[in-house]
Chain A
Amino acid sequence: MFLEIRGIKKHYGEGESRIDVLNGIDLDVERGEIVVLLGPSGSGKSTLLNIIGGIDSADEGYISIDGEKTADMDEKRLTQYRRKHLGYVFQQYNLIPNLNIKENVEVGGYLSDKPLVCDDILKTLGIYEQRHKLPNQLSGGQQQRAAIGRAIIKNPDILLCDEPTGALDYKTSKEILKLIEDVNKKYGNTVIMVTHNDAIKNMADRVIKLRDGAVRSNKVNESKIPAAELEW
């Protein structure tokens, strides 16, 4: 199994204010799958994504990517793990304001020994013409494309997307989702996407529903449809 998630528990706070966010999550993800994590606010989906991404730690359990367990890693190795295996896309695009679009994408490429060709990515993402513009000269959708470009240029094993369309309108959201799908097809990355938008599950290979820190369902999507055909 490419990604093994076993017995992940996580809580925040102590005493009366203790909140158990994850109560023992077990999951397996195949290489190249698009996985959608669904659930209401507070269900623990972002926390789980952050633990997979090595930017948060679990109280118990482990994550293993290609046999490498993140729990055994010190901070330095975790950084290397993220550098080698992961790409991140957030709801806030978090682009560097005084770097142009191409440079923002290159910031991601710097982390890889064999980055993809930046111009190809920009073309794939449809922002090649805007490559010399600064982030604040672009629309939200274009900025999110650049953020995806920054994440995928290093051709990560796993692309972690935390509400990537949360700040976008319907049309732009669909374009972004299509882009993620295209990237997955073209580069074969595993995509784990957190969303509260139920419709997005339809583009996934696997849909995992979380509630109160537990997996309520974990199903392979038999009726997968292209992102462009999603409706909500």
Chain B
Amino acid sequence: MSTETQRRGAALPWLLFLTLLPLLLMPLGAIFVFAGRAGPAGLIQALGQPDAQFALRFSLLIAFGTAVVNGILGTFAAYVLSKYRFRGRETLNIIVNLPVAIPTVVVGTSLLLLWGPIGLLGQLLDPMGIQPMFTPVGVLLAHLFVTFPYMLGAVKPVLDELETTYEEAAYTIGANRWQTFRFVILPALRGGLFSGLLLTFAHSLGEFGATVMVSGNLRLRTQTAPLYIFAQFEAGNIETANAVAAVLALTSFVIFILLQRFTQRRERRVS
């Protein structure tokens, strides 16, 4: 990283700060202000509720699951779409990115109409006792769908940029496909993988629209933290809602900071 191109001076950073203040920073701050309005005892009491605890844990688990599955699936999709030429590649490339543009509520509805007890596939599965909707599996399915493009978007550009000569060199010295992937491609992908996982995790943690449709919104069973927040807000318990929201925001913040530092240092060492 060259320092010469970095400019000094406070004018533009200040301008950025002032622009972001009403757009981003103050709304974020409001979460914590409202969360703390009932005092620290109230905050602890709000977070100590069994349903709040469950919602937070459940959200974290779903986010981990989504990040792991889409981490692998997204990398695989990026690899195939970037390295292979086949008929329909362009179309597929567009389709896999569509989930970003579709309203999440629509995603939830279509999952219900597919896997639900009266859905196309659900009707066939129901007699066998398999019912993915309104269970954690349904929530995971919704999150996998909604967050799929993030991993792909983070990894594919890196793969596209990666010179094929490195791979060819690896093959010429006798590496097989797996070894090439493991020792040549994967190290270069590290930054992309991390940011992809991060985005997937964070989006899953905050997902609302699709989850509310497919989860059944059952307290202590399928209610994720965002659904819990919304239910509490609807019931007028704004402090409770904001206490959980503050934990979500803090969790994301800590994970972002740690992983950002982690990836930055890696990149610096590589260069």
Query: Is the A/B pair a real complex?
Result: no
